Amino acid sequence: MLTGRLCWVPLLLALGVGSGSGGGGGGGGGSRRRRLLAAKVNKHKPWIETSYHGVITENNDTVILDPPLVALDKDAPVPFAGEICAFKIHGQELPFEAVVLNKTSGEGRLRAKSPIDCELQKEYTFIIQAYDCGAGPRETAWKKSHKAVVHIQVKDVNEFAPTFKEPAYKAVVTEGKIYDSILQVEAVDEDCSPQYSQICNYEIVTTDVPFAIDRNGNIRNTEKLSYDKQHQYEILVTAYDCGQKPAAQDTLVQVDVKPVCKPGWQDWTKRIEYQPGSGSVPLFPSIHLETCDGAVSSIQITIELHTNYIGKGCDRETYSEKSLQKLCGASSGIIDLLPSPSAATNWTAGLLVDSSEMIFKFDGRQGAKIPDGIVPKNLTDQFTITMWMKHGPSPGVRAEKETILCNSDKTEMNRHHYALYVHNCRLVFLLRKDFDQADTFRPAEFHWKLDQICDKEWHYYVINVEFPVVTLYMDGATYEPYLVTNDWPIHPSHIAMQLTVGACWQGGEVTKPRFAQFFHGSLASLTIRPGKMESQKVISCLQACKEGLDINSLESLGQGIKYHFNPSQSILVMEGDDIGNINHALQKVSYINSRQFPTAGVRRLKVSSKVQCFGEDVCISIPDMDTYVMVLQAIEPQITLRGTDRFWRPAAQFESARGVILFPDIRIVSTLAKAEAPGDLKTTGMAAPKSAVLEEMLHNLDFCDILVLGGDLDPRQECLELNHSELHQRHLDATNSTAGYSIYGVGSMSRYEQVLRHIRYRNWHSASLEARRFRIKCSELNGRYTSNEFTLEVSVLHEVRVSDKEHVNHLIVQPPFLQSVHHPESRSSIQRSSVVPSIATVVIIISVCMLVFVVAMGVHRVRIAHQHFTEEAEAAKEAEMDWDDSALTITVNPMEKHEAPGRGEDDTEEEEEEEEEEEGDEDISSSSSDSDDSEDQEEERMGRGRRGQSGARQAQLEWDDSALPY
């Protein structure tokens, strides 16, 4: 706006145009004369140089110009017209301004309005003009100079230190070589000038190391390195810019020394730890093959996981055989010939047990008789025999038969009806048909010759019989017999048969019956299923391993990689022609164990390699890798049973058809004890000790036993009952005996809770019963983890009956926990039933009498409210009294009030016992509330029936207190 005004003023004056032109008076003429006079005074424009060069140091505001900023005006020394009033800078958002230092001399200065940063902009170029002060003090008619170019350079300050591009560097060298350059480090500087932004020098800070570095950051070794002397070197390196400012932080250079190249696998560990529940864990996450620049055309790798010494050949489920059969969907009716020893299955109690997985070891001197009735006498044409067997070569020059299972004559003769035995590392199954079935020459012996029978390893055998066809499954594979021998049927007889395991019973042809043909080896899970054969799917499930080799992400193996697993996934074979793809594929191989509580211990691993080279007779040899997986011990769960451990019920409930529910609120909780992290060091000043934190977990149970304590149940008057539908709905089984109830089968803890809450106890002669005690104990993994022993005591609430001929000196009030039922019996029967009361009943009555007497004496001392209170108390007692007391008169001796303060300690103790019993009665489980309510309703109805006698009874029970002092 100022520039436009200065340009237009002279033009308007020349044209005679003014604010008063066209108007009339002398005022207009005077203004025109003044403007003409001003134009004659300010005749020249200011003058400045055509270009300026300046320098400013960053973070400073003073610009040094060459030449200095000075404006001249030829109108000087005329005031205003010869003076310089302003320097104007043309440009957008420029951080500079020009100021006039002296109007007369025209001297000015250029300065920065805000801090200048060289790293943002190194130089500036703009236009500047000078303005004189015009013709008067009102800054009118200013004249401006020509435009001058100003070029300013920003001078850098060394404010930034060098920084390395990488925080750390790593290199690998081979021993015995001198390298010109092992690696190169590089630093940068953020300063803008070449002097301060360039790195002029590098330096190794670490002393006494055989390395040197040049000005370009190349590190070399100054002597030959030895792998045996030192495997790794760590050195610190710094950098300097050309202003000699060192780096803000040194960088770490790690140099690994490897021995002279030897073909083999690199970067693998000897021990691989496996935490239970980790899923699939890579075995060799960083492995690679070193071929020493050998021309390899293809390579084949075999990874073997050796687990033959773990349990039954590998980590398998350790539930009972029946539970495993049910988990795998096997048909029902399976008979376990080698069960865990118990009261019902005691024939295995004398056998040697090899481990907690119920593996039985036979040393050639033991056999077990299967009781009669366990297995049907005559097997049908279809049945299945299954077993786990570990067997080695037979001792001695001439091998004898080693019997696994044998059904022979118990006495008189020595005929074998069917048998399974090992002879000369051959498995033989004998099946002799009875004479009455067919009088023909029929197949009787089936022979299999397999190396696995004597390899001292665990194998799973299944013999499916569909006579005359017999098929052997070993580890899931099918084998037909190589030899079948025919024989005649057995002649009919009435000789009893004896089924044995581990040896054959020889009842005839000897002086004394005894075992013969003993087995040497280990057996487990020997079962027989009459009437049905097992399917291939069930067989595969029963022998499946829970651990093995695995491949993470098959899609990422890459092209050209072939792989193959054996059925148990303990052996993996991989093949490829590209070393990089082979390395990547081997890094994907992992170990997996799907058991929640795996068997802890070592699993050996062996990796062998076969290499083929291009057109060479001699190819490189890759050493085998021997490593192992250490499966860590799983944290043992603490299984806890909780619930009401004592309660009372009326006799009627015990004698009812439903009985009494024993465990209405039973709870099964499993927890793990895990270590808590140490406390905060800042707050305590020292690490707090680790404390155990209980963490609840869910897992399965396989059996819960309810044992009867204090003697077996009397089947003539008591029993334990459970609705079978409760079991079938939850896929569980149970056995019942006078010793207790056993619930078994693999199921969740909640399923077992639901079943236990339906166990009922009945006693249809509860008059003679005082109390019954039961104990529960649950198990996981066939007894590997067991719960606490939870004990429950149930008691019967007996009725209290009082004879009408007995003299009573105290007011008797029925205890609140006694729920008795009124029976309209004759007076003579009541008298007979109460002649010999139980000791507990007498103690209770005496205690109640003493307590009521104290209450009555207090009532006597309240004279004003005495009559009203007595009437209400008598009415309440009428509803509670359940015996026939129509002829009972209770007299209170007033003199007894003097004896009350002097009662003996025995009476006081009896009162305390009575109070404890009352408190215990309040703990009765809420599950019986329905039956209790029904009892109360029954009493209420009976009480209403007796109210017709209330007038007479009130007269009999009325207090006679006319002679009592108050």
Does residue 450 register a pLDDT over 80? yes
The mean pLDDT value for 195-223 works out to: 91
**Boundary residue ending a domain (543, 573, 608):** 543
pLDDT top residue among 335 and 159? 335
Whether a cis peptide bond, with omega within 30° of 0, leads into 115 is no
Residue 826 belongs to some domain of the structure = no
Cβ neighbours for 868, distance < 8 A, ≥ 6 positions apart? none
**CA–CA gap between residue 525 and residue 462 (Å, rounded):** 11
**CA–CA gap between residue 425 and residue 948 (Å, rounded):** 94
Tens of pLDDT, residue by residue over 568-589, are: 889 999 999 888 889 999 999 9
Q: Which two tokens stand for residue 596?
A: 């929640």
**CA–CA gap between residue 38 and residue 33 (Å, rounded):** 9
**CA–CA gap between residue 907 and residue 47 (Å, rounded):** 131
Whether residues 344 and 433 fall in one domain: yes
**CA–CA gap between residue 787 and residue 325 (Å, rounded):** 24
Whether residues 332 and 447 fall in one domain: yes
The Cα-based distances of 229 to 134, 257, 263, 269, 588 in angstroms read 90, 10, 22, 22, 34
The mean pLDDT value for 462-484 works out to: 90
**Considering the chain, what percentage of its residues have pLDDT values greater than 70?**
75
Q: Which two tokens stand for residue 119?
A: 């790293």
Helices (H) and strands (E) in the chain, counts: 16, 57
Nearest CA-CA partner of 483 in 444, 514, 520:
444
Tell me the pLDDT band of 936, cut-offs 50, 70 and 90: very low
Contact present, 280 and 552 (Cβ < 8 Å): yes
Nearest CA-CA partner of 384 in 452, 469, 458, 324:
469
437: CATH: 2.60.120.200
**CA–CA gap between residue 559 and residue 575 (Å, rounded):** 11
Q: What is the pLDDT of residue 952?
A: 38
**CA–CA gap between residue 809 and residue 800 (Å, rounded):** 18
| SS3 label, residue 716 | coil
DSSP string, 42-105: -----B--SEEEEEEETT--B-EEES--B-B-TTTTSTTTTSEEEEEEESSS-SEEEEEEETTT
Domain that holds residue 596: 264-307+546-631
Strands 625-631, 271-274: pairing is parallel
**CA–CA gap between residue 418 and residue 387 (Å, rounded):** 16
The mean pLDDT value for 770-775 works out to: 91
| SS3 label, residue 387 | strand
Tell me the pLDDT band of 34, cut-offs 50, 70 and 90: low
Q: What is the pLDDT of residue 851?
A: 79
pLDDT top residue among 218 and 937? 218
Q: What is the DSSP letter of 249?
A: S
pLDDT top residue among 465 and 18? 465
How far, rounded to the nearest angstrom, does the alpha carbon of residue 122 sit from its chain's CA centroid?
Answer: 62
Tens of pLDDT, residue by residue over 274-314, are: 999 899 999 999 999 988 877 888 899 999 999 887 878 88
**CA–CA gap between residue 764 and residue 714 (Å, rounded):** 11
Tell me the pLDDT band of 842, cut-offs 50, 70 and 90: low
Whether residues 624 and 651 fall in one domain: no
DSSP string, 223-246: S---TTT-SEEEEEEEEEETT-PB
Tens of pLDDT, residue by residue over 711-729, are: 899 999 999 999 888 888 8
Tell me the pLDDT band of 345, cut-offs 50, 70 and 90: confident
Does residue 662 register a pLDDT over 70? yes
Whether residues 401 and 334 fall in one domain: yes
Whether residues 520 and 561 fall in one domain: no
Q: What is the pLDDT of residue 6?
A: 36
H or E segment at 916? helix 905-921
**Boundary residue ending a domain (763, 797, 831):** 797
Does residue 682 register a pLDDT over 80? no
Residue 455 belongs to some domain of the structure = yes
Whether residues 532 and 420 fall in one domain: yes
Whether residues 570 and 534 fall in one domain: no
Average pLDDT in the chain: 77
Does residue 138 register a pLDDT over 80? no
Whether a cis peptide bond, with omega within 30° of 0, leads into 77 is yes
Residue listed under structure tokens 């002296």: 102
Does residue 100 register a pLDDT over 80? yes
Q: Which amino acid is at 106?
A: G
Residue 1 belongs to some domain of the structure = no
The mean pLDDT value for 460-489 works out to: 89
Residue 195 belongs to some domain of the structure = yes
Does residue 650 register a pLDDT over 50? yes
The Cα-based distances of 288 to 218, 588, 912 in angstroms read 28, 12, 82
> How many CB atoms sit inside 10 A of residue 613's CB?
15
**CA–CA gap between residue 203 and residue 387 (Å, rounded):** 74
Q: What is the pLDDT of residue 533?
A: 82
Taking each helix axis from N to C end, the angle separating 839-860 and 905-921, rounded to the nearest 10 degrees, works out to: 100
The mean pLDDT value for 865-891 works out to: 39
pLDDT top residue among 149 and 13? 149
Does residue 928 register a pLDDT over 80? no
Q: Which amino acid is at 774?
A: F
Whether residues 539 and 552 fall in one domain: no
Contact present, 632 and 275 (Cβ < 8 Å): yes
Residue 594 belongs to some domain of the structure = yes
Residue listed under structure tokens 């560990």: 269
**Boundary residue ending a domain (108, 134, 155):** 155
| SS3 label, residue 22 | coil
Contact present, 851 and 914 (Cβ < 8 Å): yes
Residue 72 belongs to some domain of the structure = yes
Tell me the pLDDT band of 402, cut-offs 50, 70 and 90: very high
Whether residues 173 and 104 fall in one domain: no
Q: What is the pLDDT of residue 574?
A: 92
Tens of pLDDT, residue by residue over 349-368, are: 889 887 666 789 998 888 99
**CA–CA gap between residue 827 and residue 407 (Å, rounded):** 69
552: CATH: 2.60.40
Contact present, 482 and 448 (Cβ < 8 Å): yes
Q: What is the pLDDT of residue 152?
A: 87
**CA–CA gap between residue 355 and residue 784 (Å, rounded):** 11
The mean pLDDT value for 251-259 works out to: 92
188: CATH: 2.60.40.60
Does residue 950 register a pLDDT over 70? no
Does residue 169 register a pLDDT over 90? yes
How far, rounded to the nearest angstrom, does the alpha carbon of residue 247 sit from its chain's CA centroid?
Answer: 48
If you average pLDDT over each of 209-223, 384-398, 545-559, which comes out highest? 209-223
Q: What is the DSSP letter of 358?
A: T
Q: Which amino acid is at 902?
A: G
Count of domains forming the chain:
5
Whether residues 556 and 533 fall in one domain: no
Does residue 114 register a pLDDT over 70? yes
Whether residues 486 and 472 fall in one domain: yes
DSSP string, 399-441: ---EEEEEEEESSB---EEEEEEEETTEEEEEEPPBTTT--S-
Residue 946 belongs to some domain of the structure = no
The mean pLDDT value for 895-920 works out to: 42
Residue 61 belongs to some domain of the structure = yes
Tell me the pLDDT band of 377, cut-offs 50, 70 and 90: confident
**Beta-sheet strands, E only, within 325-415:** 335-336, 352-355, 359-363, 368-370, 382-390, 402-409
φ/ψ of 737, rounded to 5, equals -150, 175
Whether residues 667 and 554 fall in one domain: no
Contact present, 453 and 447 (Cβ < 8 Å): no
**Half-sphere exposure for 399 (CA within 13 Å, toward CB):** 16
φ/ψ of 527, rounded to 5, equals -135, 160
